[in-house]
Amino acid sequence: MDQQSDPVLAGFIARCGWPVVLFGPDGAVAAASVTAAGIAAGAGVAIGLFEEAARAAGYTVTVTEFGGGNRTVAADWPRAGVLGVTLDAFIEACPLSLAVLDPRGRVLRWNTAAERMYGYSFEDVRGRVLPVVPEADRGWMLENVSSVMSGGHLRGIALRRLHKDGTLMELRMSAAPVRNEAGEIACVVAVYEDLTTLNRTVRELERSQAYLQHAQQLASMGSWTLNLTDETLTWSPEVHRIHGTDPAAFHPTRPGFRKLVHPDDLPSVIAAVERAQQTGEPYAVDHRVVRPDGEIRYCRLSAEPVKDASGRVVKLFGIVQDVTSYIQLKDQFLQAQKLETVGRLAGGVAHDFNNLLTVINGHSELLLLRTPRESGTRDSLQAIHDAGLRAASLTRQLLTLGRKQPAEPRRIDLNQVIDEGGRVIRRLIGEDIELEIDASLQALHLTADPGQLHQVILNLVVNAREAMPGGGRLRISSRRLDGLPAEYGEAEPGQGGSWAELTVADTGHGMDDIVRKRVFEPFFSTKGNARHSGLGLSTVYGIVEQHGGRIRIQSQTGRGTIMSAAFPLDDAPLTEAPAAEPRRAPAPGARIIVVEDQPAVRAVVHSMLESLGYSVEEFASPEAALARIGDGTGLELLISDLVMPGMGGREVVRRARAIVPDLPVLLMSGYAEPEHEPDTGSPAPTGFLAKPFHPNELAARVAKLLSGR
């Protein structure tokens, strides 16, 4: 009882058969038993003068002080001891655990409720210091008794006590002094409430709440409640994290939440809530959140309406989940599908072009080999041949885009790669961007895959173009470095000497420190939409590292970006090989069957092989070729296209080797080299030749297969 009388005690006294009156803090009567009212009425006084009436009638009066100014006045005939009959009966009848202690903490009275709580009978504890007090707490208990004996009061003190079986209990205690007729404090009355079960439940609830909060954090999902009666909105900690708000500073309200919703999504969110209020049906709506720092997150909002007894919606209980990662993964998957589709298309286009280039380059190379150097037509033939080689380089780039071209490191000039890429770049960047190419006057020879270097340049150019939506200037340059600059870090052991530097600079919006540190992470993108996979610069980083190079960025917000990549130079002296003469057949007259569905390709391969001295039979149909192989007239080599309508090259090989187990095979294709050789179960040699190819490449592969048979 703090500022008012305890209603439980007041109710008990009102029903009590003994003459007892409860006075509140203001001195007014809070409750009185019927017998007490009778004593006052017999004396002809108001119930407030019960103490005087009882004393005048010869009763022994006991006054008990409680906390907060509450006190009881009980009347009884005098009896031995400090407790009157009335107080003794009151203690016994009280449903709470009560103990009366003397100044030294020894038990004077112990009610039935205390016996049930502690397991000790009154006879077990009479005249003893409470055995229920843990040894470590006894000094503190005696201090409390002393405090009350000095006139103090204890209210709601948390403490520990021991059950008879040794179980530790958690209690709450209040205590007050009891005075005798002389007004002296004779003993202490202590009331105990067992909170063990309640505290355990509270701890379990707190633990469950902690688990729930952790689970919400793991799932990026928070819970919220909107009371539609008083418009109070409550958020769990995870909801604050999702919205980027500080729980200590931001107090959620419906208007405050709406300010965080992306303006384009706000109408659908408001409509969903209003529909739930009207229909009482649950809802789910996707929307974006604009955090206070400007970051945009994607959320899924779900809610279940709660109705009152009349069926009116009075509350919304819901969850909000941060689905940004899911949206990003979905976008990346869609982008990967698009890239795969583009790759397949590019690979198919490159395959068809390579078939055409096999014809163009094959015939031009055969004619060049047969045409004297002084012939007037040789320059035209050479121009056709050179154009064919450049076209072959473009198809390699298409196959690289389609991830169908394996790395083919060879000695190349970086400046030549830049020059070849320049023609594509001018069409790629658009007319509003000024392009400047400043290649080094010195040859910069690298050992690298030209297709992958083209990809590095194109990815850097695309990134620069995206940084200049309103136009600008793009500069691609190269230079020789005598040693690796410190800005690139330390060179690896064995990487001394000179380097070639490729630089792509733009006048775009630039990057801040945070973006600059993450720009090479896979799937990282500042574009925030499904048009970008976030793989461009991570691919650049991987290719540069694969070639033993280094990459660095110079950028400031609003001042453009400079991307530079350094590659180890190959300074070995370059010796021009003499013009290759066509090789002669190591086995003149060897019988070779060519299977190719494209007539022009079939014809040029036939011509190349015949010029080498082989006996050639060509077939457009795999079935016809297999019939020829099975006629028993013999052959030394099978050359087959890998991809043909109907029966493919692998199946042709499998069936041919079922007839001639040790038959050597050369597969050719406009696609890149297959990852796995055909599994025919035969130890016979198998080779591969990518279209387009030089007659000498064909001669070398055929000679190797025939000699290895």
3-state SS string for 546-614: HCCCEEEEEECCCCCEEEEEEEECCCCCCCCCCCCCCCCCCCCCCEEEEECCCHHHHHHHHHHHHHCCC
* Alpha carbon distance 551, 478 (integer Å): 14
| Banded model confidence at residue 16, pLDDT cuts 50, 70, 90 | low
pLDDT tens digits along 660-675: 998 999 999 887 655 4
Q: What is the mean pLDDT of residues 58-72?
A: 75
**pLDDT computed for residue 532 by the predictor:** 46
- Give me the mean pLDDT over the 349-362 stretch: 79
Q: Which of 689, 685, 691, 678 is nearest to 706 (CA)?
A: 685
Q: Which pair of structure tokens corresponds to residue 702?
A: 């055929």
Mean per-residue pLDDT, 350-369: 81
- Tell me the per-residue pLDDT of 311-348, one tens digit each, with 9 for 90 and over: 899 999 998 988 888 887 777 677 667 656 766 776 67
Looking at 95-208, which runs of residues are DSSP E strands?
A: 97-101, 107-110, 154-162, 168-179, 185-194
What is the predicted pLDDT for the residue at 77?
Answer: 46
Contact status, residue 612 vs residue 697, Cβ threshold 8 Å: no
Q: Please give the average per-residue pLDDT across 253-276, as a whole number.
A: 92
What is the SS3 assignment for 146? Answer: helix
Tell me: the pLDDT tens digits for 214-243? 776 776 788 899 998 888 999 988 899 899
Look up the pTM and report it.
0.45
- Any idea which of 15-29, 243-257, 266-280, 626-640 has the lowest mean pLDDT? 15-29
CA angle, residues 221, 222, 223, in degrees to nearest 5:
135
pLDDT confidence of residue 621: 92
Strands 221-227 and 232-235: antiparallel
pLDDT at 579: 46
Q: Which residue from 39, 34, 41 is spatially nearest to 60, judged by alpha carbons?
A: 39
- Gap between the Cα atoms of 231 and 222, Å rounded: 19
Q: Is the pLDDT of residue 140 over 70?
A: yes
Indicate whether 41 pLDDT > 50. Answer: yes
Map residue 629 onto helix, strand or coil.
Answer: helix
Residues 514-526: b if buried by 16+ CB within 10 A, e if exposed: eebeebbeeeebe
Average of per-residue pLDDT across 548-575? 85
HSE value, Cβ hemisphere, 13 Å, CA-based, for 53: 21
Give 511-558 pLDDT, tens digit per residue.
887 777 777 765 556 655 434 444 567 778 878 887 888 888 888 888
Distance CA 534, CA 540 (A): 11
Q: What is the pLDDT of residue 594?
A: 95
